[in-house]
Amino acid sequence: MTEDLYALQRRLTAFAAARRWQPYHTPKNLAAALSVEASELLEIFQWLTPEEAAAVMADDEKAHRVKDEVADVLAYLLQFCDVLGIDPLEALTAKIDRNELRFPAPGEGD
């Protein structure tokens, strides 16, 4: 990876600031935008069979669309976290820790 998560978050913040978009980057607006972009990602796969979905990255045009939507989802998520002061890696680590306790692998904790 060429840039770490926090460098990307800073770039997004600077990009929005240079365009004076901060007043529009409220938690509600960013959550809505994140939902829209996630839906656009889903739309690519909507009517595909499991086999077609598994092969989507073999089609250059579809692969480009998937990558663009993934980028949009990540961008809005990072902006959302920035506005609310959430460390996304810390939040994910804590969630994985909780899930490992909630859903032990077979043979663990027996």
Q: What is the pLDDT of residue 109?
A: 64
User: pLDDT (tens digit, 9 = 90+) per residue, 83-103?
Assistant: 999 999 999 999 999 999 999
- In which band, very low, low, confident or very high, does the pLDDT at 107 lie, cut at 50, 70 and 90? confident
User: pLDDT (tens digit, 9 = 90+) per residue, 29-81?
Assistant: 999 999 999 999 999 999 999 999 999 999 999 999 999 999 999 999 999 99
Q: Examine residue 31 and state whether it is found in any structural domain, yes or no.
A: yes
Q: What is the pLDDT of residue 1?
A: 45
Q: Examine residue 47 and state whether it is found in any structural domain, yes or no.
A: yes
Q: Examine residue 58 and state whether it is found in any structural domain, yes or no.
A: yes
- Total count of domains within the chain: 1
How open is the CA angle 47-71-66, to the nearest 5 degrees?
A: 25
CATH of the domain at 81: 1.10.287.1080
pTM across the whole model: 0.90
Q: Which is it for the CA torsion 31, 37, 41, 47, positive or negative?
A: positive
Query: Would the pLDDT of 14 be above 50?
Result: yes
Q: Which is it for the CA torsion 45, 62, 25, 12, positive or negative?
A: positive
Residue 110 near residue 37, CB atoms below 8 Å: no
